[in-house]
């Protein structure tokens, strides 16, 4: 018994020496809001892709609008995470702390997403001129519904705000930067009558970009009129929302950072794109080698289950280089041993078919739920494999 006790004490001391210290978080005063309450900055970042977040977490008043205004859950996720990637070009994750947007209230966002009204329309709606804040084009009001929606589609679908804070004197946090994402429609959906059929209008990329940049200029002007945003850097990024039936998200295509003033002088191009493997024709044309590698991987999976062909992949390209590949394999197993064997087989295929410089993740699912997760980060020699109990 004594030997066992000594062994357990030694093991506890060893683990205590090796484990990271999570006890000492950094306490600060949140000086960026009227409350000026004590807050905590987490000591550790789980990845250089993510910002540390000021705690307790303070949700944006407009947060629920994202789900209502974007077409798919893929766009919802990418709009938020992509905006964080854009932010890293200006706000270093090692220096800045993230907080959800606090400047744009729910009512403000809703009013900005509306159409602009004519004087006659304002009178009919019993609105004042100062309430005429819509950033989308005026409904012409004449002609058929189809013609009106063709001529003046809804370009702006949603506005997302992120705040970035830094620690100043006396451990006080202050607002030091803002990013604004403008989600723009590639397809405008409308109804001729309430609860009626949904019709659509495709929006040309050139028109969407032109209108998006025009809207961004007006948004910047309005932001600069707010007291806390008069003299801090503001980044505005344009996001092309995918159609409602898309199984891959849209993408950001341009951004600008204005450190001072209320005028946008130039834009930075964002060259990123998502494709669905192996069915996307554009991917087959532009990235044939990557698609062929995926198809070979898929064929080897089908050798294990000859009657199965449900392997799909979501590929993320940045500057025309494949960065990440997320693969989904829904399949039927008849026992845990079979699932383990299949997972080991797929892990070997990942290391065989995909180059070291890309990140690959594989979700293996059955009717019973998730069975296994395989993750290989870029330049990682050994993948992480988890078998769900």
What is the domain partition of the chain in residue ranges?
Answer: 60-270, 275-387
Can you give the pLDDT at residue 46? Answer: 67
Q: Is the confidence at residue 10, as pLDDT, over 50?
A: no
- State the Cα angle at 246 between 240 and 250, rounded to 5°: 20
| pLDDT value at 1 more than 60 | no
Q: What is the number of helices (H) and of strands (E) in the chain?
A: 10, 16
Return the CATH fold of 275-387: GMP Synthetase; Chain A, domain 3 (3.30.300)
Residue carrying structure tokens 């019973």: 368
Mean pLDDT to the nearest integer, 286-304: 93
- Separation between Cα atoms, residue 96 and residue 53, nearest integer Å: 9
The CA distance from 287 to 274, in Å, is 12
Mean pLDDT of 235-247: 96
What's residue 23's pLDDT? 44
- pLDDT tens, position by position, 85-121: 999 999 999 999 999 999 999 999 999 999 999 999 9
Binning pLDDT at 50, 70 and 90, where does residue 307 land? Answer: low
CATH topology of domain 60-270: sex pheromone staph- cam373 precursor fold (3.10.570)
| Residue of 141, 103, 101, 146 lying closest to 124 (CA atoms) | 141
* Average pLDDT score over the chain: 88
Does the pLDDT value for residue 3 go beyond 80?
A: no
Q: Where is average pLDDT lowest: 112-121, 222-231, 259-268, 332-341?
A: 332-341
Widest pairwise Cα distance in the chain = 92
Tens of pLDDT, residue by residue over 172-219, are: 889 999 999 999 999 999 998 888 999 999 999 999 999 999 999 999
**Tokens 């307790």 belong to which residue?**
56
Q: Where are the beta strands (DSSP E) in 69-134?
A: 97-100
Look at 47 and 88; give whichever has higher pLDDT: 88
pLDDT at 67 over 90: no
Answer yes or no: are the C-beta atoms of 115 and 154 closer than 8 Å: yes
For residue 161, what pLDDT is reported?
A: 97
Please give the C-alpha separations between residue 249 and each of 18, 19, 244, 367, in angstroms, as whole numbers.
41, 38, 10, 25
pTM of the model: 0.87
Per-residue pLDDT, 22:
42
Close Cβ partners of 5 (under 8 Å, ≥ 6 residues apart): none
Contact by Cβ (8 Å): 280, 295: no
pLDDT, one tens digit per residue, over 311-369 is 999 999 999 999 999 999 998 877 888 889 999 999 999 999 999 999 999 999 988 88
Q: How far apart are CA 161 and CA 87, in angstroms?
A: 11
DSSP conformational letter for 138: P
Q: What is the DSSP letter of 49?
A: T
Rounded Cα–Cα distance for residues 344 and 273 (Å): 31
| Burial category of 21 from C-beta neighbours within 10 Å (exposed 0-12, middle 13-18, buried 19 and up) | exposed
pLDDT recorded at residue 97: 93
pLDDT at 234 over 80: yes
pLDDT over threshold 70, residue 21? no
Question: What pLDDT was estimated at residue 194?
Answer: 86
If residue 341 lies in a helix (H) or strand (E), which one and from where to where? helix 336-353
Tokens encoding 222: 């309005």
Distance CA 138, CA 122 (A): 11
Between CA 191 and CA 387 the distance in angstroms is 47
* 147 vs 40, more confident: 147
Both tokens assigned to 72: 């798919």
Least confident of 34-43, 222-231, 270-279: 34-43
Does 20 have pLDDT greater than 70?
Answer: no
DSSP conformation class of 146: H
On whether the CB atoms of residues 297 and 312 are closer than 8 A, the answer is: no
If you compute the radius of gyration of the chain from its CA atoms, what whole number of angstroms results?
A: 25
Nearest 5°: CA angle at 73, between 179 and 196? 110
């Amino acid at each position: 018994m004594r030997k066992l006790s000594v062994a357990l004490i030694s093991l506890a001391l060893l683990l205590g020496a090796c484990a990271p210290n999570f006890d000492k978080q950094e306490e600060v005063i949140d000086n960026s809001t009227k409350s000026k309450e004590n807050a905590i900055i987490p000591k550790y970042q789980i990845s250089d892709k993510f910002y540390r977040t000021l705690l307790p977490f303070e949700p944006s008043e407009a947060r629920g609008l994202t789900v209502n205004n974007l077409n798919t859950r893929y766009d919802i996720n990418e709009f938020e995470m992509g905006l964080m990637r854009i932010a890293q070009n200006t706000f270093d994750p090692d220096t800045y702390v993230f907080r959800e947007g606090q400047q744009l209230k729910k009512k403000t966002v809703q009013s900005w997403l509306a159409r602009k009204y004519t004087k006659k329309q304002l009178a009919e709606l019993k609105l004042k001129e100062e309430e005429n804040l819509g950033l989308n084009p005026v409904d012409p009001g004449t002609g058929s519904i189809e013609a009106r929606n063709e001529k003046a589609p809804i370009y702006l679908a949603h506005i997302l705000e992120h705040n970035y804070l830094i620690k100043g004197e006396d451990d006080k946090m202050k607002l030091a930067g803002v990013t604004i994402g403008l989600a723009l429609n590639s397809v405008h959906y409308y109804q001729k009558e309430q609860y009626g059929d949904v019709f659509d209008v495709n929006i040309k990329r050139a028109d969407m970009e032109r209108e998006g940049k025009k809207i961004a200029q007006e948004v910047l002007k309005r932001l600069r009129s707010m007291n806390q945003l008069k003299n801090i850097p503001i980044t505005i990024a344009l996001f092309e929302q995918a159609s409602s039936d898309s199984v891959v998200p849209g993408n950001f295509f341009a951004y600008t950072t204005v450190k001072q003033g209320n005028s946008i002088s130039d834009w930075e191009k964002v060259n990123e794109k998502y494709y669905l493997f192996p069915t996307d024709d554009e991917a087959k044309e532009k990235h044939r080698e990557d698609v062929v590698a995926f198809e070979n991987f898929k064929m080897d999976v089908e050798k294990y289950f000859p009657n199965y062909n449900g392997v799909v992949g979501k590929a993320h390209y940045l500057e025309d280089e494949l960065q990440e590949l997320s693969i989904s394999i829904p399949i039927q197993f008849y026992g845990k041993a079979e699932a383990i064997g299949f997972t080991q087989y797929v892990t070997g295929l990942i290391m065989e078919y995909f180059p070291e410089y890309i990140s690959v993740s594989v979700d293996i699912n059955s009717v019973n739920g998730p069975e296994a997760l395989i993750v290989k980060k870029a330049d990682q020699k050994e993948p992480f494999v988890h078998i769900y109990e």
